[in-house]
Structure 1
Amino acid sequence: MRTLIMIAAAAENNALGKDNELLWHLPDDFKRFKQLTTGHKIIMGRKTYESFPKPLPNRTHIIITRDKDYFVSFEDVIVVHSLDEALALVKNEIAFIIGGGEIYKLAEKQSDKIELTRVHANFNDADTFFPEIDEDCWMMTKQEFHPTDERHKFSFTYITYERKNNSLKNL
């Protein structure tokens, strides 16, 4: 059975980024992202993929784009043209949705879990946002607070949400 997990770092106002860049630098969150996603398939939009200097190691990248001519010449990078095409490539395994905002919105109803890093700040100039988490569909099952320190300008909380049993994924 497939497990689809949305993973993101989002501000209190659900801001994700601006101009295809993150709005913060949180080394411990990067470590957690790497730990959770390594060895799995990661699904993303084209802009998210292009925000990386190169493909992330030890992960198969599935890029969703409307551009039928889009091509990437790296191993472990697959280009598809819809979320359905991407999901067809992740049967019976764990896969992560890693952004951006439009891809999160498309994938939310298909997802089983959310691994959210809630950055305790607001960024009003952001241009990309994580969808609102519907408490009727999602239940918080775990949280871990991380205070500011010499390497982290903002405090944040790792929050795990799991889909409630009574909410249907394919509404």
Structure 2
Amino acid sequence: MQAILEDTQETEDLEPIKLGNLAIYRTPAELQTKVDEYFESGVHIRTVIVGKKGDKKKIEVKLPTVVGLALYLGFNSRQSIYDYNARDGFSYVIKRAVSFIEMYHEEALGDGNNVVGSIFWLKNHGWKDKSEVEHTAKESIAALIQAAQQAKQIESKVVKSLPVIPLSQEPAIIERKDDV
């Protein structure tokens, strides 16, 4: 333990080491060139079988991912993608690249194959898998209550203005005379 303390005392005069990675891309244009390269030739391709029983085909499908893009760009994790997104001038390039990946998943929803992975990805990027119905009224509740009260007042005035026809104690019997 004493040796460690002695080593520490000897290095007190050294400048502290700054943590963090150096920027790999100095300009947004440099980053955009590499992103374009990823989408043109760096995306992993998977062979999938599509179609129904009698009409099955094998096709090759590009599978762009945020992690795949990060690794292709030379980063060690997808977090570096989001770190670049926070840097001035780089936000447009990163958002556009992630939008291309999102477009892939969105298009996959309509291909009729297993879409669970795409649904999962889209939900984790702000999409919702539910129906929402929003009801709005043009008038406020207070205005509706006031209108109902006015209608009651009008009804009361109309009822009061009707003539009162007294009913006799005995019901009137109308006899019918036949012309026979």
TM-score interval for Structure 1 and Structure 2 normalised by the shorter chain: under 0.3
Greater Cα radius of gyration, structure 1 or 2 = 2
Of Structure 1 and Structure 2, the greater helix share is in 2
Of Structure 1 and Structure 2, the greater strand share is in 1
